[in-house]
Structure formats: structure tokens, C-alpha cells
């Protein structure tokens, strides 16, 4: 189903560093900048009114609206944005759905691993992966610990 997708595995530490830089820039209200995931295309950040736009390496656009009472909220996204690789042989993609959920799924079979509610949850998950605490069989445990019991609406 997803085997025809072209993707590049990005080292997790580069993803974490980039997310940390994005968060620091947003906290400092410095929204102009460029992020780079390894050898991939540059990530550009620009703002229009209260909306923040990040362009990903595959050309898709991540749209974030800042809501101070809830921190950053993802508003909409149509494409996958990053590929990560844990201890399993299958790559994991992360995409942002129109209902503000962060969905982590297997690129080969389309199975959904977990659904996160906030970009900070994504950062936590990536740090767990990088520390090699997160094994394929323990994905459910991590889902329970960092996600509120949410399910994907069909």
C-alpha cells in the first residue's frame, strides 16, 4: 500500500534538535529562520498574522496556529512530514491530521502506532526512541503513558 512512497530516513537526533530549535524560536517570538534535516531540503518558517507555516522537506506545509492558553496547536496538514526509524526494520512516518492529531504510522503497511495530541508529545516520543527505550512491542505502553485515551475517529 505504501511501498511506492519515496522517503528518506532522518536521524532522530536531528529531528529532536530541529523541534527543540523550533520551540525555542516560538518561545522567543523569533519566527524567522531556517531548519535543516541533514541533507534534506531546507525547512523555512514564515508567519502570516497569527498563523505559522513550516515547509517540510517533501514540499508539504505544516500549519500551526499559536493559542497561548494551550500552547501550540496543529491546525491542518495533508501530507507526511518526517520519517523516523526505531528499533524495528520498518520506517515510521509522522503525519498531522486535520483534527489536530499527530499520527505515527508504519510506512510499509499503514498500521497506526499511536496518536498524539501535541508536538511536545512527539518530542517525548522521539527522545524515547533515541534512548532505545521504545521497542516495537512496547508501543502500546508508550501510547498509554504519553497519550490521553484517544482513538482515531472513522
Domain boundaries, the chain: 12-142
> What is the residue-averaged pLDDT of the chain?
47
Q: State whether residue 72 is helix, strand or coil.
A: strand
Q: Which helix (H) or strand (E) holds 51?
A: strand 51-55
The confidence score (pLDDT) of residue 95 equals 53
Give the pLDDT score at 36: 36
pLDDT tens per residue, range 56-115: 444 344 444 443 334 333 333 333 334 444 444 544 555 545 455 566 655 455 555 566
Selected residue with higher pLDDT from 140 and 52: 140
- C-alpha distances out from residue 8 to 4, 23, 85, 92, Å: 13, 24, 10, 11
Angle formed at CA 36 by CA 28 and CA 2, multiple of 5 degrees? 120
Amino acid at each position: 500500500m505504501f511501498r511506492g512512497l519515496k522517503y528518506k530516513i532522518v536521524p532522530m537526533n536531528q529531528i529532536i534538535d530541529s523541534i527543540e530549535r523550533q520551540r525555542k524560536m516560538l518561545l522567543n517570538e523569533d519566527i524567522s529562520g531556517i531548519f535543516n534535516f541533514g541533507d534534506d531540503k531546507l525547512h523555512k518558517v514564515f508567519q502570516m498574522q497569527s498563523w505559522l507555516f513550516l515547509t517540510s522537506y517533501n514540499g508539504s506545509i505544516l500549519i500551526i496556529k499559536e493559542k497561548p492558553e494551550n500552547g501550540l496547536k496543529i491546525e491542518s496538514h495533508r501530507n507526511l512530514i518526517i520519517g523516523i526509524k526505531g528499533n524495528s526494520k520498518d520506517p515510521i512516518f509522522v503525519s498531522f491530521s486535520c483534527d489536530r492529531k499527530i499520527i505515527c504510522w508504519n510506512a510499509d503497511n499503514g498500521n497506526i502506532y499511536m496518536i498524539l495530541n501535541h508536538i511536545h508529545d512527539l518530542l517525548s516520543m522521539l527522545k524515547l526512541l533515541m534512548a532505545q527505550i521504545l521497542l516495537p512491542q512496547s508501543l502500546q505502553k508508550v501510547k498509554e503513558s504519553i497519550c490521553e485515551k484517544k482513538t482515531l475517529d472513522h
